[in-house]
């Protein structure tokens, strides 16, 4: 882990990510570190025998998702810069926890900051936890920020 590495904030743009964004900003400011805001577009998996959409239509869906994510990231980057933090954003493709951990390693991140929806029980079992998977695989410290009860996403 290098002292010059960024603070990585992984966001899914949900209400649960907002407190984590504020914490990432604060941490980047205190450490005088750059902030890298990451969003992962997770393409739909299609079974070849049961194609739901044609390849060109599928490509347009993915492109639209990435364009929307880039626009939302720009707004977060602008907010970070207005707060006096050196910030950039990147949209990745893949399985969220894998893409986030790979990017953090590649950038030699100091810390990953991620929000958690606070799911438990059956919803967590069925949906899984990106935060838990990042905790299990990251080489750098991971700060999870739980959203207040009124802001958590529905299971």
Q: What range defines the domain where residue 143 resides?
A: 7-151
Per-residue model confidence (pLDDT) at position 152: 45
CATH number of the domain that 14 lies in? Answer: 3.40.50.620
Per-residue model confidence (pLDDT) at position 125: 46
Per-residue model confidence (pLDDT) at position 110: 95
Domains: count for the chain: 1
Per-residue model confidence (pLDDT) at position 148: 76
Q: Is residue 108 part of a domain?
A: yes
In this predicted model, what pLDDT tens digit does every residue of 35-48 receive, in sequence order?
999 999 987 665 56
Q: Is residue 1 part of a domain?
A: no
- Neighbouring C-beta atoms of residue 120, cutoff 10 Å: 10
Per-residue model confidence (pLDDT) at position 68: 95
Q: Is residue 2 part of a domain?
A: no
The set of residues, in sequence order, having a beta carbon less than 8 Å from that of 4 and lying 6+ positions away, is 108
- Containing 8, the helix (H) or strand (E) segment is strand 7-10
Rounded to whole angstroms, the Cα distance separating 1 from 59 reads 37
Low pLDDT (below 70) residues in the chain: 1-3, 44-51, 118-128, 149-155
Per-residue model confidence (pLDDT) at position 98: 96
Per-residue model confidence (pLDDT) at position 35: 98
Per-residue model confidence (pLDDT) at position 47: 57
Give just the sign of the alpha carbon dihedral 44, 46, 51, 56: positive
Q: Is residue 135 part of a domain?
A: yes
Name the one residue in this structure whose structure tokens are 């299990």: 136
Rounded to whole angstroms, the Cα distance separating 60 from 82 reads 33
């Amino acid at each position: 882990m290098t002292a010059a590495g960024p603070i990585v904030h992984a966001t899914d743009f949900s209400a649960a990510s907002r407190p984590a964004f504020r914490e990432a900003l604060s941490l980047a400011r205190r450490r005088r570190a750059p902030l890298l805001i990451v969003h992962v577009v997770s393409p739909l998996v299609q079974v070849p025998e049961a194609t739901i959409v044609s390849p060109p239509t599928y490509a347009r869906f993915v492109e639209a998702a990435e364009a929307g994510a880039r626009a939302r990231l720009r707004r977060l980057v602008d907010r970070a810069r207005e707060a006096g933090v050196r910030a950039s954003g990147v949209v990745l493709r893949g399985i969220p926890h894998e893409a986030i951990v790979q990017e953090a390693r590649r950038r030699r991140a100091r810390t990953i900051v991620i929000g958690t929806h606070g799911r438990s029980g059956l919803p967590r079992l069925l949906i899984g936890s990106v935060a838990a998977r990042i905790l299990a695989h990251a080489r750098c410290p991971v700060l999870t920020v739980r959203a207040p009860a009124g802001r958590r996403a529905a299971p």
